[in-house]
Chain A
Amino acid sequence: KAGVTQTPRYLIKTRGQQVTLSCSPISGHRSVSWYQQTPGQGLQFLFEYFSETQRNKGNFPGRFSGRQFSNSRSEMNVSTLELGDSALYLCASSSGVVQETQYFGPGTRLLVL
């Protein structure tokens, strides 16, 4: 089976812009979670989608949003980018059964100038 794929792998944006990141889960997986990794805050949970519905949400401002499509692919959007949004954004997929292992993609590295 192919693993989790994320596009694009690298992005450079300027403050105030918005960005959309994409994640395709492992075939058959219905849950997609997003995490932000920064040197200062480490790995933090953003949100989780299952069957096109947001099931859990982390402690991030409303500028961070996401959605999931009927084929389980997910996108996350960050509006009005700030310098502090520079990070590695990781997507993880799992079968959808709670506490099942999450398998991560290679991440999208976002740099905000």
Chain B
Amino acid sequence: AQKVTQAQTEISVVEKEDVTLDCVYETRDTTYYLFWYKQPPSGELVFLIRRNSFDEQNEISGRYSWNFQKSTSSFNFTITASQVVDSAVYFCALSESGRRALTFGSGTRLQVQP
């Protein structure tokens, strides 16, 4: 069965610091998809990125970057120069080939202090 682990329950940083959110996954499938979502206090899950298992290229989008390493089954998320607006709960999720159901990690609450 698939599993997603986000070991960091809560992280607190000061504005402009860089922060990395860890995500480790388990799956027996060779084809799978990984996602990151952001959940602000309003509750809605906001999509950030989607990655398939055959694409190990790292990705950068503005202050956000993602490091996908199949060798360690990790899909880590880095925010550079954090801002107060980045404060939210961040979820890593996995879906296996042929199934739409997302398996979520327990989430990491990020607090960015001014």
Interface residues of A (CB under 8 A from B): 31, 33, 35, 42-45, 48, 55-56, 58, 88, 90, 92, 94, 98-99, 101-107, 109
Residues of A within 8 A of B101 (CB): 33, 45, 48, 56, 58
Give chain A's interface secondary structure class: strand
Closest beta carbon of chain B to A47's beta carbon, Å: 9
Q: Is the CB of B103 within 8 A of A107?
A: no
- B99: chain A residues within 8 A (beta carbon): 56, 98
State A45–B50 Cα separation when bound (angstroms).
18
A88 to B41, CA, bound (A): 12
| Contact partners of A88 in chain B: CB under 8 A | 43
Residues of A within 8 A of B52 (CB): 99
Contact indicator A43/B100 (Cβ below 8 Å): no
CA distance A94 to B102 in the complex (A): 12
16 pairs, CB–CB < 8 Å, chain A vs chain B? A33-B100, A42-B105, A43-B93, A43-B107, A45-B103, A56-B100, A56-B101, A58-B101, A90-B45, A98-B99, A99-B33, A99-B97, A102-B47, A106-B42, A107-B44, A109-B43
Cβ of B66 under 8 Å from chain A: no
Q: A77 to B98: give the CA distance in the assembly, Å.
A: 26
Chain B positions 98 through 114: 1 when the CB is less than 8 Å from some CB of chain A, otherwise 0: 11111111110000000
Beta-carbon contact of B98 and A43 below 8 Å: no
A43 touching B91 in the complex, CB below 8 Å, given contacts A56-B99, A104-B37:
yes
Q: Which of chain A's residues have a CB closer than 8 A to the CB of B107?
A: 42-43
Check if B37 sits within 8 Å of A98, measured CB to CB. Answer: no
Known contacts A42-B106, A42-B107, A43-B91, A102 near B100 by CB under 8 Å: yes
Tell me the bound Cα distance from A35 to B103 in angstroms. 10
Q: Which residues of chain B are near A105, meaning CB under 8 Å?
A: 44
Q: Which residues of A contact B82 (CB under 8 A)?
A: none
Contact flag A101-B35 (CB < 8 Å), given A56-B99, A58-B101: yes
Decide yes or no whether B95 CB sits under 8 A from chain A. Answer: yes
Contact B100 A55 (CB under 8 A): yes
